[in-house]
Amino acid sequence: MASAIHDGHELRPEVAERLALSAAERRREEDPFTVEWTAVAPHRILVSRSRFEVDLNRPRVKAVYLAPEDAWGLRVWKEPPTEKILRDSLREYDAFYAGVEERLRGLERRHGRFVLFDIHSYNHRRGHPAAPPEDAEKNPQVNVGTASADRARWGRLIERFVSDLSAADFLGTRLDVRENVKFFGGNFPRWVHKTFPETGCALALEFKKIFMDEWSGVPDPKQIEAIRSALAATVPGVL
Protein backbone atom coordinates (compact mmCIF):
# COMPACT_ATOMS: atom_id res chain seq x y z
CA MET A 1 0.00 0.00 0.00
CA ALA A 2 1.14 3.56 -0.67
CA SER A 3 -0.17 6.84 0.74
CA ALA A 4 0.10 10.52 -0.19
CA ILE A 5 -1.56 12.21 2.77
CA HIS A 6 -0.04 15.67 2.17
CA ASP A 7 -0.66 15.96 -1.58
CA GLY A 8 -4.12 17.47 -1.02
CA HIS A 9 -4.88 21.17 -1.52
CA GLU A 10 -8.63 21.47 -0.90
CA LEU A 11 -10.14 23.49 1.94
CA ARG A 12 -13.63 23.78 3.35
CA PRO A 13 -15.00 27.29 2.55
CA GLU A 14 -15.13 28.33 6.19
CA VAL A 15 -11.46 27.37 6.61
CA ALA A 16 -10.35 29.11 3.39
CA GLU A 17 -11.96 32.43 4.34
CA ARG A 18 -10.06 32.60 7.64
CA LEU A 19 -6.63 31.49 6.45
CA ALA A 20 -3.94 34.15 6.05
CA LEU A 21 -1.94 32.10 3.52
CA SER A 22 -2.24 32.29 -0.25
CA ALA A 23 -2.75 29.17 -2.31
CA ALA A 24 0.89 29.36 -3.42
CA GLU A 25 2.13 29.64 0.16
CA ARG A 26 0.09 26.62 1.16
CA ARG A 27 1.22 24.63 -1.86
CA ARG A 28 4.86 25.22 -1.00
CA GLU A 29 4.40 23.31 2.26
CA GLU A 30 2.17 20.62 0.81
CA ASP A 31 3.54 17.63 -1.10
CA PRO A 32 2.43 18.10 -4.72
CA PHE A 33 2.92 15.26 -7.20
CA THR A 34 3.48 12.64 -4.50
CA VAL A 35 0.14 11.10 -5.43
CA GLU A 36 1.70 10.01 -8.73
CA TRP A 37 4.18 7.78 -6.93
CA THR A 38 1.47 5.89 -5.07
CA ALA A 39 0.71 4.16 -8.38
CA VAL A 40 3.56 1.72 -7.63
CA ALA A 41 1.29 -0.05 -5.12
CA PRO A 42 -1.92 -2.01 -5.74
CA HIS A 43 -3.65 -0.27 -2.82
CA ARG A 44 -3.52 3.49 -2.28
CA ILE A 45 -4.50 6.08 0.32
CA LEU A 46 -5.11 9.46 -1.30
CA VAL A 47 -6.12 12.60 0.59
CA SER A 48 -7.61 15.65 -1.12
CA ARG A 49 -7.71 17.91 1.95
CA SER A 50 -4.86 20.33 2.63
CA ARG A 51 -2.64 19.79 5.64
CA PHE A 52 -3.57 23.41 6.53
CA GLU A 53 -7.10 22.16 7.22
CA VAL A 54 -5.95 19.13 9.21
CA ASP A 55 -2.55 17.46 9.30
CA LEU A 56 -3.02 13.71 9.36
CA ASN A 57 0.65 13.10 10.10
CA ARG A 58 0.63 14.88 13.45
CA PRO A 59 -0.76 13.75 16.80
CA ARG A 60 -4.44 14.61 17.13
CA VAL A 61 -3.76 17.39 19.65
CA LYS A 62 -1.49 19.13 17.10
CA ALA A 63 -3.39 18.23 13.93
CA VAL A 64 -4.71 21.76 13.35
CA TYR A 65 -1.99 24.40 13.05
CA LEU A 66 -2.79 27.25 15.45
CA ALA A 67 0.45 29.20 15.85
CA PRO A 68 3.43 30.02 13.60
CA GLU A 69 5.59 27.53 15.48
CA ASP A 70 3.21 24.79 14.31
CA ALA A 71 3.75 25.70 10.65
CA TRP A 72 7.35 26.64 9.75
CA GLY A 73 6.95 30.13 11.22
CA LEU A 74 4.01 31.00 8.98
CA ARG A 75 1.07 33.10 10.16
CA VAL A 76 -1.70 30.66 9.32
CA TRP A 77 -4.90 32.44 10.36
CA LYS A 78 -6.33 35.90 9.75
CA GLU A 79 -8.89 35.05 12.40
CA PRO A 80 -8.59 32.15 14.83
CA PRO A 81 -10.58 29.06 13.83
CA THR A 82 -13.96 28.70 15.49
CA GLU A 83 -14.75 25.78 17.75
CA LYS A 84 -16.91 24.36 14.97
CA ILE A 85 -14.02 24.54 12.49
CA LEU A 86 -11.80 22.72 14.97
CA ARG A 87 -14.44 20.05 15.65
CA ASP A 88 -15.08 19.46 11.96
CA SER A 89 -11.36 19.22 11.18
CA LEU A 90 -10.79 16.74 13.99
CA ARG A 91 -13.80 14.78 12.77
CA GLU A 92 -11.97 14.44 9.44
CA TYR A 93 -8.88 13.29 11.31
CA ASP A 94 -10.80 10.63 13.22
CA ALA A 95 -12.61 9.45 10.10
CA PHE A 96 -9.30 9.09 8.26
CA TYR A 97 -7.73 6.89 10.92
CA ALA A 98 -10.88 4.80 11.35
CA GLY A 99 -11.14 4.26 7.60
CA VAL A 100 -7.46 3.41 7.20
CA GLU A 101 -7.59 0.94 10.07
CA GLU A 102 -10.50 -0.85 8.42
CA ARG A 103 -8.60 -1.08 5.12
CA LEU A 104 -5.40 -2.27 6.76
CA ARG A 105 -7.29 -4.88 8.79
CA GLY A 106 -8.55 -6.20 5.47
CA LEU A 107 -5.01 -6.45 4.09
CA GLU A 108 -3.90 -8.12 7.30
CA ARG A 109 -6.64 -10.75 7.01
CA ARG A 110 -5.95 -11.44 3.33
CA HIS A 111 -2.16 -11.37 3.30
CA GLY A 112 -0.99 -11.81 6.88
CA ARG A 113 1.14 -8.66 6.78
CA PHE A 114 1.55 -5.46 4.77
CA VAL A 115 4.08 -2.77 3.91
CA LEU A 116 3.04 0.88 3.61
CA PHE A 117 5.00 3.45 1.61
CA ASP A 118 4.08 6.72 3.40
CA ILE A 119 5.17 9.16 0.68
CA HIS A 120 6.06 12.81 1.32
CA SER A 121 8.36 15.52 -0.04
CA TYR A 122 10.35 18.31 1.55
CA ASN A 123 11.77 21.74 0.77
CA HIS A 124 15.51 22.37 0.63
CA ARG A 125 15.73 26.03 -0.51
CA ARG A 126 13.70 27.69 2.22
CA GLY A 127 15.41 31.08 2.34
CA HIS A 128 14.07 32.56 -0.92
CA PRO A 129 13.50 31.51 -4.56
CA ALA A 130 17.15 32.05 -5.51
CA ALA A 131 18.56 30.43 -2.36
CA PRO A 132 21.18 27.73 -2.85
CA PRO A 133 20.20 24.18 -1.89
CA GLU A 134 20.73 23.25 1.74
CA ASP A 135 23.68 21.06 2.71
CA ALA A 136 23.32 17.74 0.87
CA GLU A 137 24.98 15.88 3.74
CA LYS A 138 22.04 16.78 5.98
CA ASN A 139 19.41 16.66 3.23
CA PRO A 140 19.43 13.33 1.36
CA GLN A 141 17.48 13.05 -1.86
CA VAL A 142 15.40 10.39 -0.13
CA ASN A 143 15.08 10.26 3.65
CA VAL A 144 13.62 6.98 4.89
CA GLY A 145 12.05 7.46 8.32
CA THR A 146 12.03 4.23 10.31
CA ALA A 147 12.39 5.35 13.93
CA SER A 148 9.13 3.76 15.09
CA ALA A 149 9.63 0.45 13.25
CA ASP A 150 10.50 -2.72 15.17
CA ARG A 151 14.03 -3.27 13.89
CA ALA A 152 14.16 -6.88 15.03
CA ARG A 153 11.06 -7.68 12.99
CA TRP A 154 11.48 -5.39 9.98
CA GLY A 155 15.19 -4.63 9.82
CA ARG A 156 15.99 -6.90 6.87
CA LEU A 157 13.06 -5.55 4.86
CA ILE A 158 14.10 -1.95 5.57
CA GLU A 159 17.70 -2.63 4.56
CA ARG A 160 16.56 -4.33 1.35
CA PHE A 161 14.34 -1.36 0.50
CA VAL A 162 17.13 1.18 1.06
CA SER A 163 19.56 -0.95 -0.95
CA ASP A 164 17.16 -1.42 -3.87
CA LEU A 165 16.19 2.26 -4.05
CA SER A 166 19.84 3.30 -3.84
CA ALA A 167 20.69 0.94 -6.70
CA ALA A 168 17.80 1.91 -8.98
CA ASP A 169 18.50 3.98 -12.08
CA PHE A 170 17.67 7.66 -11.74
CA LEU A 171 18.25 9.37 -15.08
CA GLY A 172 21.61 7.67 -15.40
CA THR A 173 22.66 8.27 -11.80
CA ARG A 174 21.74 6.90 -8.36
CA LEU A 175 19.64 8.49 -5.65
CA ASP A 176 21.13 9.41 -2.28
CA VAL A 177 18.95 7.31 0.05
CA ARG A 178 19.56 7.35 3.81
CA GLU A 179 17.66 6.54 6.98
CA ASN A 180 16.60 8.98 9.69
CA VAL A 181 18.86 11.88 8.68
CA LYS A 182 16.36 14.75 8.51
CA PHE A 183 13.07 13.02 9.34
CA PHE A 184 12.23 10.02 11.48
CA GLY A 185 8.64 9.33 10.48
CA GLY A 186 5.53 11.17 11.65
CA ASN A 187 2.39 10.22 13.52
CA PHE A 188 0.93 8.11 10.71
CA PRO A 189 3.72 5.49 10.59
CA ARG A 190 3.93 5.54 14.40
CA TRP A 191 0.21 4.78 14.52
CA VAL A 192 0.63 1.94 11.99
CA HIS A 193 3.38 0.35 14.07
CA LYS A 194 1.39 0.73 17.30
CA THR A 195 -1.87 -0.56 15.80
CA PHE A 196 -0.32 -3.39 13.78
CA PRO A 197 2.81 -4.24 15.80
CA GLU A 198 3.35 -7.69 14.28
CA THR A 199 1.93 -7.29 10.79
CA GLY A 200 2.48 -3.71 9.54
CA CYS A 201 5.67 -1.99 8.40
CA ALA A 202 5.39 1.69 7.42
CA LEU A 203 8.27 3.39 5.63
CA ALA A 204 8.10 7.19 5.80
CA LEU A 205 9.59 8.32 2.49
CA GLU A 206 10.59 11.98 2.21
CA PHE A 207 11.72 12.96 -1.29
CA LYS A 208 13.67 16.18 -1.53
CA LYS A 209 11.97 18.54 -4.00
CA ILE A 210 14.62 18.10 -6.68
CA PHE A 211 11.76 17.14 -9.01
CA MET A 212 10.18 20.61 -8.95
CA ASP A 213 10.79 24.26 -8.19
CA GLU A 214 9.54 24.45 -4.63
CA TRP A 215 8.81 28.20 -4.94
CA SER A 216 7.02 28.37 -8.31
CA GLY A 217 5.51 24.90 -8.08
CA VAL A 218 6.68 24.03 -11.60
CA PRO A 219 7.39 20.28 -11.88
CA ASP A 220 10.05 18.41 -13.83
CA PRO A 221 8.02 15.56 -15.38
CA LYS A 222 11.13 13.54 -16.28
CA GLN A 223 12.33 13.51 -12.69
CA ILE A 224 8.86 12.70 -11.37
CA GLU A 225 8.66 9.70 -13.69
CA ALA A 226 12.23 8.64 -12.86
CA ILE A 227 11.40 8.66 -9.14
CA ARG A 228 8.25 6.63 -9.79
CA SER A 229 10.27 4.09 -11.76
CA ALA A 230 12.96 3.87 -9.07
CA LEU A 231 10.34 3.40 -6.35
CA ALA A 232 8.59 0.72 -8.41
CA ALA A 233 11.88 -1.19 -8.58
CA THR A 234 11.78 -1.64 -4.78
CA VAL A 235 8.39 -3.35 -4.68
CA PRO A 236 9.54 -6.95 -5.38
CA GLY A 237 12.01 -6.76 -2.51
CA VAL A 238 9.40 -5.88 0.12
CA LEU A 239 6.77 -8.42 -0.89
CATH number for the domain that contains residue 87: 3.40.630.40
**Percent of the chain beyond pLDDT 70?**
100
Q: How many domains does the chain fold into?
A: 1
Query: Which residues have a Cβ under 8 Å from the Cβ of 43 and sit 6 or more positions away?
Result: 1, 2, 103, 107
pLDDT of residue 121: 99
Q: In the predicted model, what is the mean pLDDT of residues 39-43?
A: 98
The pLDDT of residue 212: 98
| Mean pLDDT in residue range 144-171 | 99
Give the structural domain span for 67: 2-238
Model confidence pTM above 0.85: yes
Other beta carbons within 10 Å of 6: 25
State mean pLDDT over 177-182: 99
Classify 135 as helix, strand or coil: coil
Q: What is the pLDDT of residue 37?
A: 99
Nearest one of 61, 66, 2 to 36, comparing CA atoms: 2
Tell me: pLDDT of 127 over 90: no
